[in-house]
Amino acid sequence: MPPEVRVIGIEGVPEIQPNDDLGGMLVDACHGQGTPLESGDVLVVTQKVISKAEGRVINLEGIEPSALALQISEGHRRDPRHTEMILRESRRIVRMDRGNIISETHHGFNCANAGIDASNIPGSDTICLLPVDSDASARVIKQVVKDRTGVDVAVIVSDTFGRPWRNAAANVAIGVAGMNPLLSYVGQEDVHGNMMYTTVIAVADELAATSELVTGKLLRVPAAIVRGYPYEPMEDASIQALVRDPDKDLFR
Amino acid sequence: MPPEVRVIGIEGVPEIQPNDDLGGMLVDACHGQGTPLESGDVLVVTQKVISKAEGRVINLEGIEPSALALQISEGHRRDPRHTEMILRESRRIVRMDRGNIISETHHGFNCANAGIDASNIPGSDTICLLPVDSDASARVIKQVVKDRTGVDVAVIVSDTFGRPWRNAAANVAIGVAGMNPLLSYVGQEDVHGNMMYTTVIAVADELAATSELVTGKLLRVPAAIVRGYPYEPMEDASIQALVRDPDKDLFR
């Protein structure tokens, strides 16, 4: 049998409210659509629903933009209070040019607008921040799945980031639980006997990208099951393994 | 029925030689393993087998390293003749530091070592260059599939690139035929009525990343079928749609 992986979108999840039991709702939705979670599944959950459940959708009323936020926003579409929140959610500005802000979040992710956006949330004056600790978000969901179904899954929190050099955005992983987010071939020999010295694959990012094929942006499919991928289980997994050491980064 | 995508590795492809009919061999392998190609499939083919079929595996004998290539290689593992070929396959050096070369290839891809490597090829003095025109490579395979089976597929050529800011590498698309490599949501409204102003997804990259879950690096699975993804057919598709305009790139 050829190697095969299935990617199954999870439908039927209601609009998420703060403090909702997102993990439990995903378990129910999987069951309801006839694809209950199985041991070894990777459950990829989009950041937006996690942020909603964790109360990270905030109203801009009462946010006081700084002088810098006002200045950056001038002549651009973004509300200065939204810009203010980008600055507050950043620990370092990487580039700030032509209305764009590329910054490093408190987690260490380099991305546009500190991962804040205003799509797929209700209200015109609301924005959505990244989870405070997206590894913890993944761990909570993993534990709920275990408690509710007895099944061991890996969980990835996905978000859609732009990249330097290449047009358009693609999904990456911003949180992980239960699996090694990296797959290293270092020290192994290929079929021709060549030693592989440096090859390490960011499988968590590839799994996040895979899930986007079924979640999309408009389909009310906030999560996906990736079934059949033989990940390496890891108890103390962290997405920090994907954050490049500043000393080794040529593009800060 | 929930949305579902299947990712099927293609096994049983013999070691590829120059001028082999790679497209025909993939058709045969799909048939042989009981998963013949179907209309609407995305056939993702790894760069390595395409380069092999196109005679882009070269022997370093007779390559004369320049003074610059000798200097860059000093104190590092890489053969100066290999370094010389990286320089020749580049049209611009992006960064050159600590033995690393990040350059822009003649296609416009920004990547390490101009996409040249020495893994998964026979011989100790050989290296593998990127295809000269990876869109053309994809088109040839698409046409062979059509001629041999009557089936319309999209074809993506994948390669494994490192990225700034994030550890490890992930698959991206370096060639495309038959589908729009981008999926734009610009001008559409989400379920809450928010207009999406900027969201464009690099679906070709996500499909390439997806395929890596079954191809891996050591499995002799040089290609994959992604089945069930509703791509937008496009006759004159080109991966240049994913190459960011230098004027809009903040990270050159």
Residues B136 and B191 in one domain: yes
Residue that the structure tokens 């120059």 belong to: B18
Determine the Cα angle at A75 with ends A69 and A77, to 5°. Answer: 80
Q: What's phi and psi for A234, nearest 5 deg?
A: -150, 125
Residues B165 and B135 in one domain: yes
The reply to whether A160 falls in a domain is yes
Chain A residues within an 8 Å CB radius of B203: 212-213
As a whole number, mean pLDDT of residues B68-78 equals: 91
Residues B39 and B164 in one domain: yes
Residues A236 and A164 in one domain: yes
- End of a domain among A78, A102, A127? A127
Chain A residues within an 8 Å CB radius of B217: 185, 190, 196, 199, 201
Residue span of the structural domain in which A83 resides = 58-127
As a whole number, mean pLDDT of residues B47-67 equals: 97
The reply to whether B145 falls in a domain is yes
pLDDT tens digits, B121-163: 988 899 999 999 999 999 999 999 999 999 999 999 999 999 9
Residues A121 and A152 in one domain: no
CA distance B119 to B217: 9
Please give the DSSP secondary-structure letter assigned to residue A60: -
What CATH number is given to the structural domain containing A111?
3.90.1660.10
| Residue of A166, A192, A207, A221 for testing the chain B interface, max B β-carbons within 10 Å | A166
> What is the per-residue pLDDT for B67?
96
Q: What's phi and psi for B182, nearest 5 deg?
A: -115, 150
What total of structural domains would you count in chain A?
A: 2
Q: Which of A102, A119, A190 sits opposite B217 (nearest CB)?
A: A190
CA A111 and chain centroid, separation: 12
> In Å, how far are A16, A193, A249, B6, B245 from B42, measured between CA atoms?
34, 31, 34, 10, 27
Residues A103 and A14 in one domain: no
The reply to whether A252 falls in a domain is no
The reply to whether A193 falls in a domain is yes
> What is the per-residue pLDDT for B218?
87
Q: Counting one residue from A and one from B, how many pairs have CB atoms under 8 Å apart?
A: 235
Asked if the interface predicted TM-score (ipTM) of this complex is over 0.85, the answer is: yes
What CATH number is given to the structural domain containing A188?
3.30.1330.100
The reply to whether A77 falls in a domain is yes
Residue that the structure tokens 């991966």 belong to: B239
Picking from B114, B138, B124, the residue whose alpha carbon sits closest to that of residue B42 is: B138
Q: Is A90 on the interface with B (CB under 8 A)?
A: no
pLDDT tens digits, A152-175: 999 999 999 999 999 999 999 999
Residues A114 and A154 in one domain: no
- Closest-CA distance, B74 to chain A, in angstroms, reads 18
The reply to whether B251 falls in a domain is no
- Closest-CA distance, A110 to chain B, in angstroms, reads 6
Residues B78 and B194 in one domain: no
Residues A190 and A205 in one domain: yes
> What is the per-residue pLDDT for A29?
98
B134-166 in b/e burial notation, b at 16+ Cβ within 10 A?
A: bbebbbbbbebbeebbeeebbbbbbbbbbbbbb
Q: Is B7 on the interface with A (CB under 8 A)?
A: yes
> Is the pLDDT confidence value at B174 over 90?
yes
The reply to whether A205 falls in a domain is yes
Chain A residues within an 8 Å CB radius of B199: 119, 160, 169, 217
- End of a domain among B127, B142, B158? B127
The reply to whether B186 falls in a domain is yes
- End of a domain among B71, B92, B127? B127
Of the ranges B18-22, B89-93, B246-250, which one carries the lowest mean pLDDT score? Answer: B246-250
3-state helix, strand, coil in chain A (%, to 5): 30, 30, 45
